[in-house]
Amino acid sequence: MSYYPLTSIPDYYGIDALLTEEHKLIRQSVRDWVESFVMPQIDHAAQNHTDLPGLMKELGKIGALGPYIPVEYGGSGLDQISYGLIMQELERGDSAVRSAASVQSSLVMFPINEFGSEEQKRKYLPQLASGEMIGSFGLTEPNHGSDPGSMETYFKDMGDHYLLNGAKMWITNSPLCDIAVVWAKNEEGKIQGLIVERGMEGFTTPETHNKWSLRASKTGELVFNDVKVPKENLLPGVTGLKGPLSCLNSARYGISWGVIGAAIDCYCTAVQYSKERRQFGNPIGSYQLQQKKLAEFLTEITKAQLLCLQLGNLKNDHKASPAQISMAKRNNVKMAIDIARESRQILGGMGIMGEFPMMRHAANLESVITYEGTHDVHLLITGMDITGINAF
């Protein structure tokens, strides 16, 4: 259970008044689920480097997989602010939980819905929405992370099928996945997406062990050794790097909201602790140095909430540019990791313990600040948007 009362979740600028009743109901239901399913077992899972059993089906039950995917394909047809609020509540529990929902929704269901054939949508989306099927997304390779355009994974047209070769690295949920949306080059060197299914000969998914971050999430490789992929598994609707990057726009947007949840968890815990813990005869929260930290946390959380809300409005109107999304991802992840690190100090020695969430969030956020485009890559995207000059 969380250490602080849920009523203390901050809404300093009355942002709730800008949400609909439906938004608030969705947020509350995900918050309740996180409280009952995630909180009691997350420290144990992270300490023991195990995933949460049955997580994906649970996420399916609460409608957290593909919330904005149309109802006819198993989604909930919700707006982008609902999606953001769901991500915020999930990451208040743990970044691993939000990661699972991000990958399934934005990196697997999104490309099938946007670029897939009618048959692909009907075959995969309902099962992905319910969590009966787990998806992964293969873009990053051992030699190409920030620069995915240089990828080496390729496929050849063999007449009645494609032959896929190469390897992807750092893939969330690869050891668990039933399907992988894989980005590879065709014989003309153009990037296309293929749906690779577990069981296809030559396809393996070795796990990456010994992470200090996202320990409640499985990460691994996708290895393709002469994998015969049926022709109907090619995503017909997109060619070029803009395919995978469009998926990233959706996932990065979700992360911008998600990390506010991690920051809120740390902030609320620190407020509560600083009022209860006494040193030199007074609560530590009575000292100016501690109040400065808390005041800065609340200021940064409030700014991040406002940034996300307006980005959500833009996204609902299909007006959010990739560079605007980069700015929010970069700003909000840095905000959250700073709050996780600083709030841990407010708890002194207790801050390193598993009973409190700061170390776990801070360690998780080391991945979040790197995946979906590193902190520096997003800075360069903003720099390019300002100057028109590519500094990569």
Which are the catalytic amino acids? Answer: 372
Does 242 sit near ligand TGC (CB under 6 A)?
yes
Does 367 sit near ligand FAD (CB under 6 A)?
yes
Does 148 sit near ligand TGC (CB under 6 A)?
yes
Residues in binding contact with ligand TGC, number by CB under 6 A: 25
Closest distance to ligand TGC from the beta carbon of 59 (Å): 13
Among 102, 205, 233, 274, binds ligand TGC (CB under 6 A): 102
Does 102 sit near ligand FAD (CB under 6 A)?
no
The answer to whether residues 202 and 170 touch, using CB atoms and an 8 Å cutoff, is no
Whole-number Å distance between alpha carbons of 152 and 167:
8
DSSP output for 182-211? EEEE-TTS-EEEEEEETTSTTEE-PBPP--
Residues 296-355 that bind ligand TGC (CB under 6 A): 322
Does 175 sit near ligand FAD (CB under 6 A)?
no
The answer to whether residues 211 and 163 touch, using CB atoms and an 8 Å cutoff, is no
Whole-number Å distance between alpha carbons of 246 and 64:
20
Tokens 């299909």, located at residue: 318
Among 145, 202, 237, 322, binds ligand FAD (CB under 6 A): 145
Helical ranges in the chain per DSSP H: 21-33, 39-48, 55-61, 80-93, 95-102, 110-115, 118-130, 242-276, 288-316, 322-346, 358-368, 375-387
Sign of the dihedral defined by the CA atoms of residues 235, 241, 244, 250, in that order: negative
Whole-number Å distance between alpha carbons of 101 and 88:
11
Does 377 sit near ligand TGC (CB under 6 A)?
yes
Among 149, 230, 348, 354, binds ligand TGC (CB under 6 A): 149
Tokens 């399907």, located at residue: 179
Residue 164 interface partner, choices ligand FAD, ligand TGC, none, CB cut-off 5-8 Å depending on type: none
Does 172 sit near ligand FAD (CB under 6 A)?
yes
Chain residues in the site for ligand FAD (CB under 6 A): 103, 137-140, 145-146, 170-172, 214, 219, 367, 370-372, 374, 376-377, 392
Chain residues in the site for ligand TGC (CB under 6 A): 99, 102-103, 137, 139-140, 146, 148-149, 172, 240-242, 245-246, 248-249, 251, 322, 371-373, 377, 381, 392
